[in-house]
Amino acid sequence: MSTQEASTGVDSIAKISLHGNRPKPTLKNGAIGVFRYELMRSLTPLRILLWVGLLLFPVILVSFVQFSLIQGGARGEDFLGLTIVLFILLPEVITMLCMLLWATPIVNAELESQTWVYSVVRPKARWAMITGKYMVAVAWTASCTSLSTSLCVLVISMSGAWKVWITLSCLCWLSAICYGALFMLIGTLIQRRAMVIAFFYAIFVEFILATIPAVINQFTFSFRLWSILYNSIDIPKDFLDANFMIQDSSTVGNVAVILAASAFLLSVAIWRIQKSQFRWQSEV
Amino acid sequence: MITLHHTTLLYGTVIGINDFQIDLPVGAYALVGPNGAGKSTLIGLLTGAIKPTLGSVSVFGIDPFRDPSVLQRIGLCPASELLIHGVTSRQWLRLQLALSGWDSRKAMARADMILELVGLKDAVDRPIHTYSLGMRQRCKLAQALANDPDLLILDEPFNGLDPIGRHQMTELLKQWAESGKSLLLASHVLHEVERITNSFLLVYGGRLLAFGTAGELRTLLAGIPQEITIRTRSMDELASRLSRMPWLRSLQRDNLQNQLHIAVETPLELYQQLVRWTAEEGINIEQITGIDGDISSLFRLLVSKHRGEVMMTGVMS
């Protein structure tokens, strides 16, 4: 706003006028805009380092295990065990860690930087924010875990590696989709301490409740992911002596349940944000 | 343009907005009140961020909480500080435009145009966290202007601006108002809003104290108690005459400066009486000082009235 510009301000204001032809707010443009913006923000040295670290950690771990197995004259079953370890590491632990970082603070991060108000006062911006941030969380996490899976499978070089790679890669994307939606919902329901709540939720529900031999464990994503793993790879049912953790239903059925549940959780998160009232910080 | 019908907002048991009743046509308005008066809460209601506990809110005939589509016609520049790291103003504005429905390519060109208007042309690729407070304020203003709103709402836009920045902001807002678009400017810096608009909404304690132009507010004030100082050489005579008037609430003599400090219930009657006494009976009056003509004094008086403090300060001597 130089003095010259200020003196011709009315003209300038006329110049920026759209004469009422404002674009209609669309979820597509909004979500793509948020996706691009958040992805750009994720490309900081620290976050890239974290991404690489999470990617390489399973590879290094598997390499050591592989080395010790070969030294000890490993059998086929041992390599199967390595697949299980990879499953626990990638679609479970690392995916949940990434989602704790990306999906859970969805609202709180905006509140802390005092930028949530800009989304609140635009017609479809809340939807776009949730959707765009969810897409980034899934892309960031699944790209890390699926690439790590590829490297790990290369390192293991077991028989049937192709099938293991396909299954684990799909599971990485599926788990990113479902845990992303789940943690995002937690982040919208409990905005201030979402990470703590999500962490304990993951421990008690997805790790402990999922292993309880009762119907209730079928309501966890972990149960569905285990079932897909067992049904897709030729793992003997008594391999882990934990039949209650899996279900013989078709892989398609389990995938459908995961996708439907994710869509439901994401819808609830959007509904919750759309209906919530925003308090300016000075008034809270 | 803005209609509030018996609008009340409660934060639990605390009243944020208390029974607002107003119907504002298109134009520029200053929402004036001290911190905590309810200005931001009112803005929250107008932008659909908050739902009123009682009553209704409508902007351009639409309830912004129930139907957020009306927000497309509103640009808000909030009072809160912009605390973003590692993002340039161009990138951030592109996001805001995308959230308003702009596609990527058009958003880029539009962002550059708006940032040029607010004087950030040379800093579009600098991260916002390296900006001065004034530049961040302009950045916030840019996102409010970006979608060419019909109603621009600014909450304390002068916060953190240096004198030059304040002048430039004032000029831009004057031009906005002159362009025929609507403006609602919330501020506690009275003299700055006076330069932009002549229509005021005075709020305090969640209540609308008064609404109108400065002239209308002064007329309103003529009918409510005021404190007035009269400098005169006929102090004894004038004090004696005034003390017999039923509308006099208190009178204090200042013999050193030949002044009478009086409090009256109906200033208009005082002024009429003073004219008569000076014209017909030769009472000398050198100076009358009351409301000094700026909105700040009006506001102080209205707040005092609201608090029940008016007329309670004068002491007879």
CB pair distance less than 8 Å for A23 and B41 = no
**Among residues B163, B198, B219, which one ends one of the domains?**
B219
On whether both B132 and B92 belong to a single domain, the answer is yes
Note the residue count of chain A. 284
On whether both B89 and B167 belong to a single domain, the answer is yes
- Ordered DSSP codes for A165-211: HHHHHHHHHHHHHHHHHHHHHHHHHS-TTHHHHHHHHIIIIIIIGGG
**A6 pLDDT more than 50:** no
On whether both B192 and B245 belong to a single domain, the answer is no
On whether both B228 and B275 belong to a single domain, the answer is yes
CA distance B156 to A7: 23
On whether both B121 and B171 belong to a single domain, the answer is yes
Q: How confident is the model at residue A186 (pLDDT cuts 50, 70, 90)?
A: very high
On whether both B256 and B187 belong to a single domain, the answer is no
pLDDT of residue A67: 83
**Among residues B219, B246, B261, which one ends one of the domains?**
B219
Q: pLDDT, tens digit, for every residue of A189-246?
A: 988 888 999 999 999 999 888 888 778 888 899 999 988 988 888 776 666 655 556 6
> Are B43 and B123 spatial neighbours (Cβ–Cβ below 8 Å)?
no
Q: For chain B, how long is the longest CA-to-CA vector?
A: 80
A147 assigned to some structural domain = yes
> Are A210 and A129 spatial neighbours (Cβ–Cβ below 8 Å)?
no
B243 assigned to some structural domain = yes
CB pair distance less than 8 Å for B83 and A10 = no
B312 assigned to some structural domain = no
**Set of chain B residues whose Cβ sits within 8 Å of the Cβ of A125:** 99-100
> Are A171 and A258 spatial neighbours (Cβ–Cβ below 8 Å)?
no
Q: Considering only the beta carbons, identify the residue of B50, B76, B172 that sits closest to A1.
A: B172
On whether both B87 and B234 belong to a single domain, the answer is no
Q: Considering only the beta carbons, identify the residue of A15, A29, A113 that sits closest to B101.
A: A29
Q: Which of B26, B35, B95 would best serve as a mutation to test chain A binding (most A beta carbons within 10 A)?
A: B95
> Are A117 and A278 spatial neighbours (Cβ–Cβ below 8 Å)?
yes
CB pair distance less than 8 Å for B117 and A13 = yes
**B75 pLDDT more than 90:** yes
Q: What is the mean pLDDT of residues B277-296?
A: 75
Interchain contact A121–B (C-beta under 8 A) = yes
Helix (H) and strand (E) counts for chain B?
Answer: 10, 13
**Among residues B196, B219, B242, which one ends one of the domains?**
B219
Residue A70 burial (CB count, 10 A): 10
A204 assigned to some structural domain = yes
Q: How confident is the model at residue A5 (pLDDT cuts 50, 70, 90)?
A: very low
CATH number of residue B235's parent domain:
3.30.70.100
On whether both B118 and B265 belong to a single domain, the answer is no
On whether both B107 and B153 belong to a single domain, the answer is yes
On whether both B47 and B139 belong to a single domain, the answer is yes
Residues paired with B199 in a beta bridge: B213
A213 assigned to some structural domain = yes
Q: How confident is the model at residue A96 (pLDDT cuts 50, 70, 90)?
A: very high
Q: Considering only the beta carbons, identify the residue of A22, A33, A279 that sits closest to B98.
A: A33
Query: Which ipTM value was assigned to this complex?
Result: 0.84
CA distance A163 to B228: 93
pLDDT of residue A193: 85
Question: How far apart are the CA of A281 and the nearest CA of chain B, in angstroms?
Answer: 8
A184 assigned to some structural domain = yes
B52 assigned to some structural domain = yes
B6 assigned to some structural domain = yes
Identity of the amino acid at B71: L
| H or E element that contains B28 | strand B28-32
On whether both B9 and B91 belong to a single domain, the answer is yes
Q: pLDDT, tens digit, for every residue of A135-158?
A: 999 999 999 999 999 999 888 877
A283 assigned to some structural domain = no
* Structural domain span for residue A232: 25-275
Q: What are phi and psi of A69, to 5 degrees?
A: -65, -45
Q: Considering only the beta carbons, identify the residue of A34, A115, A122 that sits closest to B100.
A: A122
Identity of the amino acid at A124: K
Domain count, chain B: 2
CATH number of residue B195's parent domain:
3.40.50.300
CB pair distance less than 8 Å for B72 and A6 = no
On whether both B70 and B37 belong to a single domain, the answer is yes
- Ordered DSSP codes for A66-131: HHHHHHTT--HHHHHHHHHHHHIIIIIIIHHHHHHHHTTTHHHHHHHTT-HHHHHTSTTHHHHHHH
A16 assigned to some structural domain = no
Domain count, chain A: 1
Residues paired with B127 in a beta bridge: B88
Interchain contact A115–B (C-beta under 8 A) = yes
* Structural domain span for residue B293: 223-307
Q: How confident is the model at residue A76 (pLDDT cuts 50, 70, 90)?
A: low
Order of strands across the sheet that contains B182-187: B74-77, B151-155, B182-187, B28-32, B199-204, B207-213
Which phi-psi region, left, alpha or beta, contains residue A133 (left: φ > 0; alpha: ψ -120 to 50)?
alpha
| H or E element that contains B44 | helix B39-46
